[in-house]
Structures are given as C-alpha cells and as structure tokens.
Chains A and B, each alone.
Chain A
Amino acid sequence: MAHAFRILRVDFKHPLPGMIPALFNDAQYQTLRALLDVSFARHAALAGNVANVNTPGYRRQDASPVFQQELTRAIEARDVSKLHSLVPQIGIDSSAAPARMDGSNVNLEREMVEIAKNSAQYEVSAALISKRYQMLRAAITGKT
C-alpha cells in the first residue's frame, strides 16, 4: 500500500498558486466592474440634477472630469490594479453651461439624455459581466 501511495503522488512541476485570482484579475473584467461602479454613482448625481431642475442657483453635478480621464486612461492601458482601486468622484461640474436667469445651470433635456446613456452603460456592463460568469462556469464544468 505504501508503494501504491508513492505512485499516487502526482508531479506538479508548475504549480499555479494564483488560480482563483487569475479568474478575475484580467483587464476586461475589472473594466466592467469599474464601469458598473461609475454608472451607478453617476445615476445618483444626475438624479440630483433632475430633482433640482427648478431650484434657483443650483449647480449641476457629475463625475469629475479628472476622474473620467483617469478611468479612460486606465481602461486603455488595461491597468488592472488601477481599475480595481478606482473610486468614482462626483462633484460640481465646472465645465457646465452658464447659468439661467435664476442661477441654475441645469438643462433638463441634457440631463435626461445623460441618464439614458448612463443607464445603457450600466445595463450593458451588467449583461457582459453575466456572460463572463456563464463562460467561466462552462469552462469549469465542461457543460454549457
């Protein structure tokens, strides 16, 4: 039996210690996660703008342009660690259109369009991430 046991010891020449992190540490997956977080936070900011469409003196808010640039750069560079640690920054949109007579710079049509685009981004990212899990399960179990 000891002899049998020796045969049973399989030789792992190249162990893969990080097999589970490897499932989720690729750029596309982390990009989808980042997009979900950003779209989620942005919807709340845009909702705040729409709520205040008739508030005098209100300044519209959005994801800060600096953050947008960082996100785009991280996506293009496929920088996984950057994407993983990105935290959406929402603040006053300094580049927005000049104020109306009552001091508010909220344009309702523009906000609604942004909300539509944003929710599409959220839903598409959710669908793609779902597909990713489907594919992983198919690969793991061998069944589609």
Chain B
Amino acid sequence: MNVGSILSALQSGAVIPSGVAKPVGIQLTEGTPITSFRETLTEQIRQQASVALHPQETGSTTASNYQGFAAQMVDDVQRLQSNATAATGKVLQGDGGSLHTAMIAMEEASVSFQLLVEMRNKVVETLQELMRMQV
C-alpha cells in the first residue's frame, strides 16, 4: 500500500455518494513528518467512515454497528501510535524504556495502521463497485 495511492484516493473523494458533502482533500508537502500524515489520514478516515455510512433512515442498527466498529478501530490505532511515540521517547531520553519495547510498540502501531488502511480500501472498493452497478 503506498502513500501516493492513499493520497489520490482521498483527494478524489471517490468514496462519497453524491449529495453528501465531500471531505476536504489532504494538502501535503514534501517532507511532512510521518506522524502528522498519519494523524491527518486517520482523521480523514474517521470522517469518511462516519459520513459515508451515516444512516439516512431511522431504525437501522447495522450501519451504526459498523460506525462503532470503525471508530473503535481508529481509536485503537491512535492508542497504539501514541504508545509507540511514548515508548520511543522513553528510549531517547534514556529513562525507563528498553529498545525492544519501543520496537514492538512501533511495529504494533504500524501493523494495525496497515490493517486500518487495507480495510478502508476494501470499503472504498466495495462502494465504488456498487455505485458502478447502480448507475
């Protein structure tokens, strides 16, 4: 999964059905640090997940289950990322953090983020296919 394709997918706003407000595309410049990119990206995913699947009709539980599920995933990813930052900080400051703990924290954050992105891509793909079928 490369950064370029994530960026263009988000900027094109392809996931959103017409009639719903498009999210603002990400403006990233060269050399944007990875942490802020991730924060922006997760924020975008969170927005899109809730916007794309917000129930238009009452009495639906499945969509809100999914919304809860997606929000939970994003929360978990953010929690793991802040763990990673904290653990790395401890190592760099030389107080109370071992190298392997920091490496593990970073890997957990990275792998879970990858999962999040792949899931989002699957959702995007599915929505796009279905939209194509209807029209």
Contacts and interface: CB of A to CB of B under 8 A. Distances in A.
Q: Do chains A and B touch in the complex (CB under 8 A)?
A: yes
Interface of A: 1-13, 15-21, 23-24, 33, 36-37, 40, 122, 126, 129, 133, 136-137, 140-141
B63 interface: yes
B3 interface: no
B127 A8 contact: yes
B112 interface: yes
* Interface of chain B, main secondary structure: helix
Contacts of A133: 107, 111
Interface string B110-129: 01101110100000001100
A137 B17 contact: no
A140 B62 contact: no
18 contacts: A5-B17, A8-B131, A9-B60, A12-B66, A15-B65, A17-B72, A18-B72, A19-B76, A20-B73, A20-B77, A20-B115, A20-B116, A23-B108, A23-B112, A24-B108, A37-B101, A136-B111, A140-B111
Nearest to A3: B134
Contacts, number: 87
Contacts of A129: 104, 107
